[in-house]
C-alpha cells in the first residue's frame, strides 16, 4: 500500500493512477494545525486497515496527476538521522582529513543526530538553497524508515515489527565544521516522498537499492546491504536512547557520491520498490548569518 499526504492536508492511498481519499479515517480536519493526520493513520493502522482497504473500492478518488503531493508525514515527533553509514562514503570523506579523524564519524561509533522537523518538504517542493556564496551544499541520497508503533529498548530481533514503511529521503547539508544539525536543518533540506510504501511490499529490508542523479548524471548508487549500521541496529540504537513514536522517520545515511547542487539543477532520487522524486533546485534569499562567515569549511561531514 502507498499512503500519501496531498493538497495541503488531505490523506490518501495511491491505487494505480488515482488517489483514494481517506482523510476522514485520520480523524483530523485537513486545516488543523499541527498536521498530524498521517501520524494518526499510522498509529491506528492495524485496527483501521480493513476500513482503508474497503475505502480503496468505495471512497472518493482523484487522478494522481491532478493532486499536489505533500511530505507523507508532515509532523513527525522526530527525524532521526545516521551519519557516515556506508564505508565507501567514509572513504571519500577521508581524503585530505586523516583516517583517524574521520573514523570517529562512523554511525557505528558516533551514533545518530536529529534534523529539525521544519526541514521536511515534499515531492512537489523545490530544494531552496540559502545564500551562502562560499559554501558548497551537497545532496545525500537516503532511505527513510517510517516507524509504525511506539517502542523503547527495541531488540534487533523485534525491529521489523516497528517498521511501518519506507519513503525516499534527501538529507541536504551545508558543508563545514559548524554543528551538524544547523547545517542540515534549513527549510526544504529534508525532502521526503512521494509516499510511504508499507513494509509488506518490501520483500528484503537488507537488499533495497537506491540511486540519485543530478541533471541525469548518476551520482550515487548503493543498497541497504552495504550499510554499516543495519536497519535493525538503527532501530535498536535509537530506541535505546528515546521512545520511538508512530510516524517518526529514520534517515539511514548516505552512500558515496555526495556532491554539490546549484540553482537550476534537477535532483532525482529513486529507491526500488519505494518510489522516485524529482526535485528542482532554486536559489533562496534567506539564510545568511554571521556564523557562516565566522568559521570556514574545514571538514566535509
Q: Are residues 53 and 88 in the same domain?
A: no
Q: What is the SS3 assignment for 221?
A: strand
pLDDT for the residue numbered 101: 42
> Among 23, 44, 66, which residue terminates a domain?
66
Same domain, 93 and 222: yes
Are residues 56 and 101 located together in one domain of the fold?
Answer: no
Clarify whether residues 225 and 199 are in a common domain. yes
Same-domain pairing of 86 and 189: yes
Total number of domains constituting the chain? 2
Give the CATH number for residue 265: 3.90.850.10
Return the ∠ at Cα 229 (arms to 257 and 277), rounded to 5°.
Answer: 45
Neighbouring residues of 234: CB distance < 8 A, sequence distance ≥ 6: 80, 82, 112, 145, 250, 252
Backbone angles phi, psi at 130, to 5 degrees: -70, 155
Question: Has residue 10 been placed in a domain?
Answer: yes
Regarding whether 283 and 224 lie in a shared domain, the answer is yes
User: What pLDDT, on the 0 to 100 scale, is given for residue 91?
Assistant: 65
Same domain, 266 and 189: yes
pLDDT value for 87: 77
Predicted confidence (pLDDT) at residue 133 exceeds the cutoff of 80: yes
How much is the mean pLDDT over the chain? 93
Separation of alpha carbons 249 and 238, rounded Å: 11
By residue range, what is the domain housing residue 37?
Answer: 2-66
Task: Please tell me the predicted confidence (pLDDT) of residue 102.
Answer: 47
138, 205: one domain: yes
Query: Is residue 293 included in any domain, yes or no?
Result: no
Give percent of the chain above pLDDT 90: 88
* 190-212: average pLDDT: 97
pLDDT on residue 15 = 97
- The reported pTM is 0.93
- Both 52 and 87 in one domain: the answer is no
Secondary structure percentages of the chain, helix, strand, coil, to 5: 30, 35, 40
What's the rounded Cα separation, in Å, for the pair 301 and 297?
A: 10
Amino acid at each position: 500500500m502507498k499512503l500519501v499526504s496531498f493538497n495541503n492536508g488531505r490523506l490518501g492511498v495511491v491505487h494505480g493512477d488515482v488517489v483514494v481519499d481517506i482523510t476522514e479515517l485520520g480523524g483530523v480536519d485537513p486545516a488543523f494545525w499541527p498536521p498530524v493526520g498521517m501520524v494518526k493513520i499510522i498509529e491506528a493502522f492495524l485496527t483501521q486497515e480493513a476500513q482503508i482497504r474497503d475505502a480503496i473500492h468505495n471512497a472518493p478518488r482523484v487522478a494522481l496527476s491532478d493532486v499536489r503531493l505533500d511530505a507523507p508525514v508532515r509532523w513527525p515527533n522526530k527525524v532521526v538521522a545516521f551519519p557516515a553509514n556506508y564505508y565507501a562514503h567514509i572513504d571519500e570523506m577521508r581524503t585530505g582529513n586523516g583516517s583517524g579523524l574521520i573514523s570517529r564519524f562512523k554511525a557505528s561509533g558516533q551514533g545518530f543526530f536529529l534534523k529539525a522537523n521544519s526541514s521536511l518538504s515534499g515531492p512537489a517542493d523545490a530544494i531552496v538553497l540559502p545564500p551562502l556564496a562560499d559554501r558548497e551544499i551537497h545532496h545525500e541520497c537516503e532511505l527513510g524508515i517510517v516507524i509504525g508503533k511506539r517502542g523503547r529498548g527495541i531488540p534487533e530481533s523485534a525491529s521489523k515489527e516497528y517498521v511501518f514503511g519506507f519513503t525516499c529521503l534527501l538529507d541536504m547539508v551545508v558543508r563545514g565544521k559548524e554543528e551538524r544539525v544547523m547545517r542540515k536543518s534549513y527549510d526544504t533540506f529534508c525532502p521526503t516522498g512521494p509516499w510511504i510504501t508499507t513494509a509488506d511490499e518490501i520483500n528484503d529490508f537488507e537488499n533495497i537499492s537506491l540511486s540519485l542523479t543530478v541533471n541525469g548524471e548518476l551520482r550515487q548508487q548503493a543498497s541497504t546491504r552495504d550499510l554499516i549500521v543495519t536497519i535493525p541496529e538503527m532501530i535498536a540504537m535509537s530506541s535505546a536512547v528515546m521512545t520511538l513514536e508512530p510516524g517518526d522517520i529514520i534517515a539511514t545515511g548516505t552512500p558515496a557520491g555526495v556532491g554539490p547542487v546549484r540553482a537550476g539543477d534537477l535532483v532525482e532520487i529513486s529507491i526500488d520498490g519505494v518510489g522516485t522524486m524529482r526535485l528542482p533546485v532554486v536559489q533562496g534569499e534567506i539564510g545568511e548569518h554571521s556564523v557562516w562567515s565566522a568559521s570556514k569549511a574545514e571538514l566535509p561531514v
